Amino acid sequence: MFFRALNDLKLRKKLFLSFIVVVFIPVLIVGIFLTDQLRGMALDKAMDQTTTNVERVKARTQELIDVAYDSSYRMANDDRLATVSNKRYETVYEVVQAYRDFQEFNENRRLYKEISNLRFYIENPTMLDNWEFIQPEPAIVRSDWYQKAMASPNGTVSWHYIQDERDQKQYLSLVRKVSFVEQSTSGVLVINVNMNMLNAILNQESFETMLVDDRNTIMAANRPDRVGKTMEDIEFDQDVMKEESGSFEADVDGKASRVLIEPLIPVSSVNSLRIISVFSIDTIVKDANRINVYAFIVISASLLIAIILIYGVSTILSKRMLRLSKHITKVATGNLDLVLEIDGKDEIGQLSRQFNSMVYSINGLVEAVKNSNSQMNLLESKQNEIKLKMMASQINPHFLFNALESIRMKAHLKGEKEISRIVSLLGKLMRRILEVGNGKTKLADEMDIVRCYLDIQKFRYEGRLEYSLRIDPRLEKYSIPPLIIQPLVENAVIHGLENKLEGGKVSVQAGIEDDRIVIDVYDNGAGMTGEKIQQIYKSINQVEDDERNRIGLQNVHLRLLLIYGDGHGLHIESEPGIGTRISFTIPYGGEWHV
């Protein structure tokens, strides 16, 4: 099929098709491959750089928060903190003096620039709030970070993004429970990390980098507008958001991006942090895309020049072929006095020489044909004479109808009404059969032929035959092939009920099931074995050019397959001694529908 279609193309189109197959498609494949490789190399390089950057951010952030952890460890084991926090003061002066003597918080802020602030929450009604020692208010006590700290074991810490009451700003904060065993009390130490230093670490990265807690809150980022938001707020991919580590592809702010997640697990922490780095794929492959554009321009220019050259060559060849085609057309119109002259020794020149030789041969054949025409005319006249004699020998069907009508009238006049009715039915049946031709007939008319046939057979069997015809009213005007049901009924009567002494029944039904018309012919006759049914199937599926099978089962089966396709042939069900059912289906609403 492909080569046939290729041969139908004009030469110019073939040359262009050859160019596309031989040059354009390989160049396109190579271009796509190189583009994909450049893109992959750019992404891999960006991924390696991101991994290195994230490891650097992780190391520097770890150093930063380790300072807060070391400070919390010293504070938790400082006896002076226990004394100041648990003493019951008599006067305000005693409280102020105790705060003045306890300078550990100030010393930590002064010595460690990584720490922004320290504060200690403890329930001691004799103390005053001075932003360092704070009585926890109900809102603080109910907060998630405070309750987690009070419920955590001694020696463990947790990291939260919480607000400092002093300046109302959010900080990455170490939260640690401090238990005083001797006094049977406990408090919560909060150390704020220097956010300026943390943001400075992230701001050195070229790709978007964020520090996120276990609740998906962005605590620090090199994009200030991200800080304080959650991953849901920036429309981060829900599936990637749940990941603890790894490299992923996701949509961030509506752009296809690569995401690298690195876990940061601080020392003795009950929760972990994550460093998330995001870079847009379009940004990374921008340079590769620019190179691809330049390559595309160069390749396109080369292909354009090649197309122009192919067009010129094909035009020269097409002109020579067109001259040959025009001469062939003139010969086809009967002009045989032509001599074609085309220069060149290529295939086209060879064709021109063969063309001239062919024209010379045709001239000789024309003369020979003229000599044989007289003999052919004589033979044709003899054949027509034979046909006329054969037609004259045929019996005129009207003679047979007139004879049947005369018999019917004679029987009627002598009181033989039953014989008169049967002769009338026989005449009607024969007329219907001769009138149907090879076209279409309505289902109601086909049923009328069946009814005539069954009435005649009922007369013949003298009460041994009963029948029923049922047709869906919607199908009465539906067109079907002619003589498609009557042969099945005839088969049921002759082969099914021939030896049945009494109680013979034939049922014909036509109805609609789903999108199909189902026509069913049933008899309660002798039935058949499974082996016999297989023999019938084998017989009716053999295509034989035999006029005797024209109205038999084979004819009906093959006509159904030819008209409606596979699956619409005869279906036979039978059991010995019970009966036989022959059915077939017709598509409802097809080309035969009127």
| Domain presence at residue 10 | no
Which of these three, 284, 318, 349, is where a domain ends?
284
Confidence class for position 168, pLDDT limits 50, 70, 90: confident
Q: Which of 167, 214, 156 is nearest to 192 (CA)?
A: 167
Q: Return the pLDDT at 270.
A: 86
- What is the total residue count of the chain? 594
Considering Cα of 444, then 445, then 451, then 454, what sign does the dihedral take?
A: negative
Lowest mean pLDDT of 512-521, 546-555, 576-585, name the range.
546-555
| Domain presence at residue 187 | yes
Looking at per-residue pLDDT, the higher value among 534 and 438 belongs to 534
Confidence class for position 521, pLDDT limits 50, 70, 90: very high
Q: Return the pLDDT at 585.
A: 93
| Domain presence at residue 41 | no
Q: Return the pLDDT at 471.
A: 92
| Domain presence at residue 570 | yes
> How confident is the model over 94-127, as pLDDT tens digits?
888 888 888 888 888 888 898 989 999 998 888 8
Looking at per-residue pLDDT, the higher value among 458 and 287 belongs to 458
The pair of structure tokens assigned to 559 is 């006509």
Sequential DSSP letters for 408-434:
HHHHHHTT-HHHHHHHHHHHHHHHHHH
**Measured distance CA(530)–CA(264) in Å, rounded:** 78
| Domain presence at residue 543 | yes
How many domains, in total, are found in the chain? Answer: 2
Domain carrying residue 130 = 51-284
**Measured distance CA(217)–CA(521) in Å, rounded:** 78
Q: In what order do the strands lie in the sheet with 465-471?
A: 465-471, 504-513, 516-523, 579-587, 571-575
Which of these three, 224, 254, 284, is where a domain ends?
284
| Domain presence at residue 507 | yes
CATH of the domain at 458: 3.30.565.10
> How confident is the model over 537-562, as pLDDT tens digits?
888 887 654 544 444 788 888 888 88
| Domain presence at residue 94 | yes
Average pLDDT, the chain: 78
> How confident is the model over 353-385, as pLDDT tens digits?
777 777 777 777 777 777 667 545 643 543 344
> 554: helix, coil or strand?
helix
CATH of the domain at 128: 3.30.450.20
The rounded percent of the chain whose pLDDT value lies above 90 is 11
> 349: helix, coil or strand?
helix
Q: Are 412 and 420 in contact (CB under 8 A)?
A: yes
Which of these three, 268, 284, 300, is where a domain ends?
284
